[in-house]
Amino acid sequence: MTARDEYADDELAALYDLEHDSVDGDLDLYTQFARRGEPPSLELGVGSGRVALHLARQGLPVVGIDSSLRMLARLEAKLDPETRATCG
């Protein structure tokens, strides 16, 4: 059995970002969790990086994994050099 990549299409991945990138009501909670735990934080199903990028921009080390190569490519395209240093 193989997993199906629901975001294998660039347009679907872009639509995901359109719908979710502006959601930020939970980011403070994730920041608190990351500060309490031992670094780095691990985000499973990181997608295009909404939470992981927020944590990295706060200077918190974070590692993310996802089964969708398109979503990971979108995340990588959003990385600036400073943020890249805190993401793994």
Q: What is the pTM of this model?
A: 0.84
3-state class of 75 per DSSP? helix
More confident residue, 77 or 86: 77
**CA-wise closest residue to 9 among 87, 84, 86, 71:** 71
pLDDT digits (tens, 9 = 90+) for 41-77: 999 999 999 999 999 999 999 999 999 999 999 999 9
Does residue 1 carry a pLDDT above 50? no
